[in-house]
Each structure stands twice: as C-alpha cells, then as structure tokens.
C-alpha cells in the first residue's frame, strides 16, 4: 500500500510504501482507538504518544465494573421510566378530554346566553400537558 503524506501548508509530500501486515496493524489500532488510520500514522511520525498513567489493566477492570453498575442501574430505572412515560401519555389524554369539555361548556353557556369564562391558567396547564 502506498501512503502519501502532504503538509498542511507548502509543497512537498512524502510517499511511503507499506506492506499489508503493517497496514492491517495500523487499521486495527485506528479501530481500537476510534481514530482514522491517517491519524495513527501521523501520531507515529510526530511522536505524540501518551504514556498511560497508572496500571492499564486496573483501569480497564475499573471501567468494566462501572459498566456493570451502569447496566444494573439501567435495569432498575427502566421500569420507572416506562411508568413515567405511561403517566405522561395518560396526562395528554386527560388534557385533550378536559379541553373538549371546556369547549362544550363554553358552547352551552353561549346557548344559554351567559358569558363564557376564559380560564387562562387552565388553558396554560392543558397546553403544558399536550406538549410534554
């Protein structure tokens, strides 16, 4: 594989011929660390390596423990989120019904010749539940 490195400014480029095994290693590193293969080569050429602080195996073990705790909490709270979603949908339905009843009430008041009331606070509350 031929690798061509161009500078950000100016002219000149570097062409390097890489064998397949080296390129596969570069791609594996890029995938492992979530960067592009070009960035891996750039880091290798410029020497921007970072030495890990602490024992890498201990840090990886700690990450695994934290992931397990996270999933345990996710399992615990997923049912609560589902119930909260159900209540939110129930509130929307009740807000729609209340809005319809208010419209019917004001229509009946007009039919009877009475002045319909404009309950602004209740309308704000209905709007809140319909949006959320």
pLDDT at position 73: 93
Contact 30, 37 (CB under 8 A): yes
pLDDT at position 72: 93
For the chain, the maximum distance between any two Cα atoms, rounded to a whole number of angstroms, is 92
In angstroms, the CA 38 to CA 66 distance is 32
Same domain, 23 and 80: no
pLDDT at position 85: 93
In a domain, 42, yes or no: yes
pLDDT at position 78: 92
In angstroms, the CA 57 to CA 54 distance is 9
What's this model's pTM, rounded to 2 decimal places?
0.47
pLDDT at position 14: 74
Intervals of the chain under pLDDT 50 = none
Same domain, 40 and 62: no
pLDDT at position 108: 93
Same domain, 33 and 96: no
Same domain, 41 and 8: yes
In angstroms, the CA 125 to CA 26 distance is 58
Same domain, 73 and 107: yes
The parent domain of residue 115 ranges over 56-131
Strands 2-5, 14-17: pairing is: antiparallel
Q: Which residues contact 61 (CB under 8 A, 6 or more apart)?
A: none
In angstroms, the CA 59 to CA 66 distance is 11
């Amino acid at each position: 594989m031929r690798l061509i490195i161009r500078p950000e400014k100016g002219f000149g480029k570097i062409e390097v011929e890489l064998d397949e095994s080296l390129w596969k290693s570069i791609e594996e590193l890029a995938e492992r660390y979530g960067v592009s293969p070009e960035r891996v080569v750039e880091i290798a050429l410029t020497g921007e390596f970072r030495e890990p602080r602490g024992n890498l195996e201990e840090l990886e073990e700690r990450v695994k423990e934290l992931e397990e705790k996270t999933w345990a909490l996710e399992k615990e709270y997923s049912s609560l989120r589902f119930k909260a979603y159900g209540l939110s949908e129930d509130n929307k339905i009740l807000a729609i019904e209340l809005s319809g009843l208010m419209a019917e009430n004001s229509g009946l008041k007009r039919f009877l010749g009475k002045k319909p009331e404009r309950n602004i606070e209740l309308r704000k509350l209905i709007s809140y539940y319909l949006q959320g």
